[in-house]
Amino acid sequence: MDQATSFASFWSAQTPFVANFALQQLRLWVNSSPWFADTDNAKWFDVPAERLRQMQADYQREWYQLGLQLLSRKPFSFTDKRFASDNWSSPLFGSLASYYLLNSHYMMELLEELKIDDEKPRQRLYYLVEQAIAASAPSNFFASNPDALEALVKSNGVSLFNGMLHLASDLKEGKLRQCDSGDFQVGRDVATTPGDVVFENDLFQLIQYRPQSEKQYQRPLLIVPPSINKYYILELRPENSLVRYALEQGHQVFLISWRNFDESCAGKTWDDFIQSAVIQAIKVTQAISGGQQLNCVGFCIGGTLLSTALAVLEAQGEKDCISSLSLLATFLDYSDTGVIDVFVDEHLVTQRERTIGGKDGPAGLFRGQDMGNTFSLLRPNELWWNYTVDKYLKGQKPRTLDMLFWNNDSTNLPGPMYCWYLRHTYLQNDLKSGELECCGVTLDLSSIKIPTYLVGNQDEHIVPWRSAYSTSKLLSGKVRFVLGASGHIAGVINPPTQNKRHYWTNEQTPVDPDIWMESAEKKPGSWWNDWFAWLTQHAGEQRPAVGQSGNSEYPILEAAPGRYVKG
């Protein structure tokens, strides 16, 4: 959505807060913003005069105390990470940070007073104002960042020169890199578990991994990773690879490696992803494993694709091919999509359908960089502005972290597939309706009757954990829900060997997720332990490990990680 006129052009967190004036600034900006063009906001700004006077008096009192601190040259201290260094304790820079935080606080307090009954306009207003506040922090500007100025002096200007090189490189790539592209190499540092590509088409490659144990369970594990970014989020370094850990526990592992789509595949649809990718991968895995039932795992949109494929198979009469289903941080019910909902409306979806979706024109690609930048801005102070400050103002090399490297390794999506997904999930929440057509059949998620393991993450900003929990009421099989700590990536990639974090379990799955949480048991360490214990119950008997990948019908095409992940 075009936000050419941002709130920052009406208000600055560096100027003193005047309640009446700030309210009028909000009113003028809202009336100029396309996000609120179709909303009736006449009553939003009817804040009682007495409340405005009280806010102004409270602000003046705190403003006065900060002024006294500045004049008396007392050092400032902050809990905010942006102003954590000793340089911010000085009167000049400390007062800049303090006044910024004070003004920002009262602007957000003013938002609380607005009479906005509808949730979506309220979310949008909060999101855009928070973006403006985050962008206007004094730490984001060279002249008002004492750490950047100190680095300039100490390095004789080298820090600023390096910062400009970082900026030029990121502009060339079209994205803010949170990890240098040369820090890791796919196949050398990440995605290193031995395996072989045993099938490929123009959508994906199927990797069969070589055994890491003397015995293996009878039923293979098929993993469907997100089609956004590369598959190796589940196959990072050996010490935090879910794939390698599963192999070491005695599971046969097959995994889909999605293609980074180019113009030759711009017309691919959601149905293509279901029938020619996920269902095709299921059939190839069964053929190689001798017709065994599979344990299937989906992560994020990979879980949405996988669940859709299983419902299609049920409708097509192909039953009993799956032993269990595991969905990691996955939406099936899109009633509450968290902050992402602020972006999605009919106007956006229609515009995408007409420009890249093939409606009334040619199909195009949805660029992975756009998705990556959007996700980063969902948490601007943790995933955007801190990197711009460190890289561009201070000239520092970003930290070397495999998860951040993967986060920057985005993939394009075919426009028709992306637009179908956007309309029927985030916009219309059709997957759970029981009426949606896909691959020539009607989707009915309740037809999935296999045992299911659901994972949510407590600090999620992409798939809120209560939304992940709601899947328990859409499927008909016995469901186990586990809540992990941390966020979308770190909550999932949490190997037991590192003994980090904690998780919650509950043998019951009541309708209300908060009731589930009230009686859930908190356990230390990784939820992987609980999951693999559950998975073993559905994996069949153990037998000597299969040493040869593929078979006569599906011979080895190349060694893992394969060409597609490097494209």
Model confidence at 27, pLDDT cuts 50, 70, 90, reads very high
| Residue 414 burial class via C-beta count within 10 angstroms: exposed 0-12, middle 13-18, buried 19 and up | buried
Residues above pLDDT 70, as percent of the chain:
99
pLDDT 10s digits, 384-425: 999 999 999 999 999 999 999 999 998 999 999 999 999 999
Q: What is the mean pLDDT of residues 371-382?
A: 82
What is the pLDDT, as a whole number, of residue 4?
45
d(CA 103, CA 86): 22
- Indicate the average pLDDT of the chain: 94
Extract long-range pairs of 107-114: CB within 8 Å, 24+ residues apart: 107/11, 107/13, 107/17, 107/22, 107/133, 108/133, 109/55, 110/19, 110/22, 110/23, 110/26, 110/47, 110/55, 111/26, 113/47, 113/51, 113/55, 114/26, 114/44, 114/45, 114/47
- Is 300 assigned a catalytic role? yes
179, 300, 321, 439: the catalytic one is 300
Q: Is the pLDDT of residue 2 over 60?
A: no
Q: Extract the tokens encoding 56.
A: 């102004």
Cβ within 8 Å of residue 463, ≥6 positions away: 300, 329, 330, 331, 338, 456, 457, 488
CA dihedral for 122, 126, 127, 128, sign (positive or negative): positive
pLDDT 10s digits, 268-284: 999 999 999 999 999 99
pLDDT 10s digits, 456-501: 999 998 999 999 999 999 999 999 999 999 999 999 999 999 888 9
Q: What is the mean pLDDT of residues 225-229?
A: 92
d(CA 234, CA 560): 14
What is the pLDDT, as a whole number, of residue 200?
98
Closest of 566, 564, 567 to residue 258, by C-alpha:
564
Residues written for the chain: 567
From 2-6, 135-139, 198-202, 249-253, the region with the lowest mean pLDDT: 2-6
Cβ within 8 Å of residue 369, ≥6 positions away: 173, 174, 175, 410
d(CA 138, CA 144): 5
Pick 44 or 360 by higher pLDDT. 44
DSSP classification of residue 17: P
Q: What is the mean pLDDT of residues 66-78?
A: 94
DSSP string, 501-539: SEEEE-S---SSHHHHHHTPEEEES-THHHHHHHHHTTS
| Amino acid identity at 185 | Q
Q: What domains sit in the chain, N to C, each tagged with a CATH number?
A: 7-140 (no CATH), 195-559 (3.40.50.1820)
